[in-house]
């Protein structure tokens, strides 16, 4: 484990003899101003632990902390202590850590004793088009899976498909009424989308249609081997086949495809458990749990008066199942902010039942994807019924076509143009989605997304390709690792200190991204590291530097490239070596 902040914090703790809460209060942060040093220690909490004023603590720390092989200079500044680290130590820890594939730069080994984490993500409704809203859950969830795996946790990525209940029953009704085998075979997603629209229009004119759907759902839930069951199987199989296209292009995989239907035979036990806990009430024939006691006005409906189960019933059964099956420390639900109440209610029911599981349930909400309305110029929600409905596959195709044009302009000689355009185009969308904190709405703006100079996927990818180009020109194999370290003089990398300090921030960034379920921290880290590298390369030559310097810089370049690839890998962005 080569987390540099940790090392320095340990030394400070040792010098002060700090333990327990005082030890925890020693947390380095980046300085406000780089001129002041590499890290700063704010002494507020530590001073409280020691019963002194912060400047007194800062002076004491500066006094006790002697320069050593890691720490070069210590200076108190009011309530802060500024620290400057030795350049050779920065270089050694960063470059060796990456090239020797040690944590936190590489996946933590099994000795990390990771926790089990369940991540419920993507989870589209079957027999409906996979559109932009699901894109966000898919890319955020997949990034969280990779981030937690990187930290050594045991991750269970679950696709909780919407393959049961009334929404599905409506779709089935539409298929029975208006479905066309030939159309479905031609373009399943498009046909299903048309059916979904037709159902909506027809249900407006004839409210009885919903009763028909409810009857089909009852027939499905009866468990009998009937027409509904066959239809369900058929539509489910077709949808899964169609979803696989976008999943493959995005490089997203799941550990479990346990959708709502998986809980068909588990809901009775879940209901019995709610009943036994004494919180289930009958309200006009329906079974509900009232939640005022836990601060939620709307009761949670778990069974309708006609006996039908609901989305909530299945989520409750799923929570019990996951808890028993995986003993997770956390269950993350990567679902749009519009389902906030749903997850509050789920947690509320568990809380009222006195289930410790309540604390593990975490809704990870996110904002909308907005499209520009060409007529009004306003940014509005990508609607599935409005004029701007877009299918994910078509959006990915458009991104790729745009990139293909840019390559034709900028680098027409490039080999494998189609494969690289696919990588860059798909990645640009993923990157754009993960750039801002997830709760913000995402503007879907081609020009912005594909700008090679902005804070974009192509910009960070270009840094990787540039570093690969340097290694190629120096005739260093791209897969070279620890062998590049032999006999290198770390002092010679002192002028790369800002690149090194940024590299050393990686472990901390991944940790925070996992804690806060915030992949944007990784995306922004990538932008920052790429920026530092580009600016380093503006003033430093590699190919024609003198031999010892060249050797050290090659190791730096190889390590930086590797770390950028790891960073992009965490968010699911490809890192081609030429572009």
**Rule CB under 6 A: which residues touch ligand ARG?**
120, 123-125, 160, 162, 315, 318, 333, 335
Q: Minimum distance from CB of 222 to ligand ARG (Å)?
A: 23
Q: Minimum distance from CB of 310 to ligand ARG (Å)?
A: 11
C-alpha 399/C-alpha 405 separation (Å) is 10
Q: Which is nearer to ligand ARG, 92 or 170 (CB)?
A: 170
Q: Minimum distance from CB of 100 to ligand ARG (Å)?
A: 40
- Beta-bridge partner residues of 205: none
Q: Which is nearer to ligand ARG, 83 or 318 (CB)?
A: 318
Are 412 and 579 a contacting pair, CB within 8 Å? Answer: no
Phi, psi dihedrals of residue 37, rounded to the nearest 5°: 145, -170
Q: Which is nearer to ligand ARG, 80 or 333 (CB)?
A: 333
Q: Minimum distance from CB of 410 to ligand ARG (Å)?
A: 39
C-alpha 5/C-alpha 11 separation (Å) is 10
- Beta-bridge partner residues of 283: 286
Are 118 and 331 a contacting pair, CB within 8 Å? Answer: yes
Are 520 and 440 a contacting pair, CB within 8 Å? Answer: no
Q: Please give the DSSP secondary-structure letter assigned to residue 309.
A: B
Q: Which is nearer to ligand ARG, 58 or 318 (CB)?
A: 318
- Beta-bridge partner residues of 83: 39, 74
- Residue 560: partners with Cβ closer than 8 Å, 6 or more residues away: 98, 467, 499, 503, 529, 533
Q: Minimum distance from CB of 295 to ligand ARG (Å)?
A: 21
Cα dist. 152→7, 14, 68, 117, 227 in Å?
20, 28, 32, 11, 46
Q: Minimum distance from CB of 280 to ligand ARG (Å)?
A: 21
Q: Which is nearer to ligand ARG, 9 or 123 (CB)?
A: 123
Q: Minimum distance from CB of 169 to ligand ARG (Å)?
A: 14
Q: Minimum distance from CB of 566 to ligand ARG (Å)?
A: 29
Q: Which is nearer to ligand ARG, 271 or 500 (CB)?
A: 271
Distance of CA 341 to the CA centre of its chain: 22
Q: Which residue is nearest to ligand ARG (CB)?
A: 162
* Burial label, 299 (beta-carbon count in 10 A; 0-12, 13-18, 19+): middle
Q: Minimum distance from CB of 167 to ligand ARG (Å)?
A: 8
Q: Minimum distance from CB of 229 to ligand ARG (Å)?
A: 20
Distance of CA 494 to the CA centre of its chain: 34
Q: Which is nearer to ligand ARG, 319 or 513 (CB)?
A: 319
Are 29 and 22 a contacting pair, CB within 8 Å? Answer: no
Q: Which is nearer to ligand ARG, 317 or 574 (CB)?
A: 317
Are 190 and 389 a contacting pair, CB within 8 Å? Answer: no
Torsion region of 383: left, alpha or beta (phi above 0 gives left; psi -120 to 50 gives alpha): beta
Q: Which is nearer to ligand ARG, 157 or 162 (CB)?
A: 162
C-alpha 281/C-alpha 215 separation (Å) is 25
Q: For 398-547, list the strands marked E by DSSP.
A: 442-443
Q: Which is nearer to ligand ARG, 220 or 558 (CB)?
A: 220
Q: Which is nearer to ligand ARG, 86 or 160 (CB)?
A: 160
C-alpha 550/C-alpha 142 separation (Å) is 39
Q: Minimum distance from CB of 560 to ligand ARG (Å)?
A: 38
Q: Minimum distance from CB of 335 to ligand ARG (Å)?
A: 4
C-alpha 168/C-alpha 325 separation (Å) is 27
Q: Minimum distance from CB of 195 to ligand ARG (Å)?
A: 17
Q: Which is nearer to ligand ARG, 136 or 160 (CB)?
A: 160
Q: Minimum distance from CB of 476 to ligand ARG (Å)?
A: 47
User: Which three-class secondary structure state does DSSP give residue 543?
Assistant: coil
Cα dist. 340→15, 157, 460 in Å?
47, 21, 34
The token pair that represents 417 in the structure block: 């143009």
Element (H, E) at 127: none
Q: Which is nearer to ligand ARG, 279 or 335 (CB)?
A: 335
Torsion region of 414: left, alpha or beta (phi above 0 gives left; psi -120 to 50 gives alpha): beta
- Residue 59: partners with Cβ closer than 8 Å, 6 or more residues away: 76
Q: Which is nearer to ligand ARG, 86 or 131 (CB)?
A: 131
The token pair that represents 21 in the structure block: 């809460």
C-alpha 274/C-alpha 69 separation (Å) is 60
């Amino acid at each position: 484990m080569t987390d540099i902040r940790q090392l320095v914090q340990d030394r400070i703790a040792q010098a002060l003899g700090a333990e327990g809460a005082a030890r925890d209060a020693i947390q380095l942060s980046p300085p406000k101003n780089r001129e002041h040093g590499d890290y700063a220690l704010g002494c507020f909490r530590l001073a409280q632990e020691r019963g002194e004023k912060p400047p007194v603590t800062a002076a004491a720390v500066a006094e006790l902390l002697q320069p050593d092989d890691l720490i070069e200079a210590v200076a108190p500044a009011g309530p802060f202590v500024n620290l400057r680290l030795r350049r050779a130590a920065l270089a050694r820890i960063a470059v060796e850590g990456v090239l020797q594939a040690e944590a936190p730069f590489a996946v933590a080994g099994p000795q990390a004793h990771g926790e089990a984490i369940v991540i419920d993500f993507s989870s589209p409704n079957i027999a409906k088009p996979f559109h932009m809203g699901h894109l966000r859950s898919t890319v955020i969830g997949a990034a969280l899976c990779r981030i937690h795996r990187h930290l050594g946790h045991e991750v269970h990525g679950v696709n909780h498909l919407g393959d049961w209940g009334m929404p599905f029953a409506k779709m089935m009704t539409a298929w029975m009424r208006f479905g066309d085998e030939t159309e479905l075979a031609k373009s399943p997603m498009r046909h299903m989308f048309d059916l979904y629209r037709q159902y909506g229009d027809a249900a407006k004119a004839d409210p009885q249609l919903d009763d028909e759907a409810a009857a089909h759902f009852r027939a499905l839930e009866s468990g009998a081997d009937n027409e509904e069951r066959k239809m369900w199987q058929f539509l489910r199989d077709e949808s899964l086949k169609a979803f696989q296209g976008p999943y493959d292009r995005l490089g997203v995989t799941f550990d479990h495809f346990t959708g709502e239907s998986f809980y068909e035979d588990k809901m009775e036990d879940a209901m019995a458990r709610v009943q036994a806990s004494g919180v289930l009430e009958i309200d006009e024939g329906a079974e509900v749990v009232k939640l005022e006691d836990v601060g939620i006005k709307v009761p949670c409906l778990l069974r309708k008066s006609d006996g039908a189960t609901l989305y909530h019933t299945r989520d409750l059964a799923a929570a019990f199942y996951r808890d028993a099956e995986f003993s997770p420390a956390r269950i993350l639900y990567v679902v749009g902010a519009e389902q906030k109440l749903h997850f509050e209610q789920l947690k509320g029911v568990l809380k009222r039942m006195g289930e410790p599981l309540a604390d593990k349930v975490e809704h990870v909400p996110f904002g909308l994807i907005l499209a520009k309305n060409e007529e009004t110029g306003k940014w509005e929600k990508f609607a599935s019924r409005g004029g701007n409905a877009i299918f994910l596959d078509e959006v990915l195709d458009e991104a790729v076509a745009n990139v293909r044009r840019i390559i034709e302009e900028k680098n027409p000689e490039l080999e494998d143009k189609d494969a690289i355009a696919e990588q860059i185009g798909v990645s640009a969308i993923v990157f754009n989605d993960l750039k801002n904190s997830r709760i913000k709405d995402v503007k879907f703006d081609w020009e912005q997304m594909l700008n090679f100079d902005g804070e974009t996927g192509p910009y960070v990818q270009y840094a990787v390709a540039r570093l690969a180009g340097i290694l190629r020109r120096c005739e260093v194999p791209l897969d070279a690792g620890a062998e590049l370290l032999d006999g290198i003089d770390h002092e010679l990398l002192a002028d790369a200190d800002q690149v090194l300090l940024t590299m050393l921030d990686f472990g901390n960034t991944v940790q925070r991204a996992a804690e806060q379920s915030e992949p944007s921290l990784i995306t922004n880290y990538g932008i920052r590291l790429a920026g530092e590298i580009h600016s380093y390369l503006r003033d430093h030559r590699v190919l024609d530097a003198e031999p010892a310097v060249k050797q050290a810089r090659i190791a730096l370049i190889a390590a930086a490239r590797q770390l950028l690839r790891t960073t992009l890998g965490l968010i699911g962005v490809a890192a081609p070596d030429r572009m």
